[in-house]
Amino acid sequence: MTRPLTLALAALCALLAGAALWPWLPASEAAPRPPETARPAASANPFAALPPLADFSATVERPLFSPTRRPAANAPAFTGGIGERWRLQGLLVAGKSRRAQLAEIAGGRILELGEGDKLEGWTVKKIEQDRLLLSSPAGEATLTVRRPPGKP
Question: What are the structural domain ranges in the chain?
Answer: 77-144
Residue 47 confidence (pLDDT) above 70: no
Nearest-angstrom CA–CA distance, 78 and 92: 24
Q: What is the mean pLDDT of the chain?
A: 77
CB 119 within 8 A of CB 107: no
- Residue whose C-alpha is closest to residue 91's, from 144, 150, 142, 140: 144
Choices 1.20.1250.20, 3.30.70.20, 3.40.640.10, 2.30.30.830: CATH for 77-144: 2.30.30.830
Banded model confidence at residue 31, pLDDT cuts 50, 70, 90: low
CB-count burial class (<10 Å; 0-12, 13-18, 19+) for 8: exposed
pLDDT single digits (tens) 58-95 = 766 776 667 787 766 655 444 457 877 888 888 887 77
Residue 36 confidence (pLDDT) above 60: yes
Banded model confidence at residue 117, pLDDT cuts 50, 70, 90: very high
CB-count burial class (<10 Å; 0-12, 13-18, 19+) for 135: middle
| Model-wide pTM > 0.85 | no
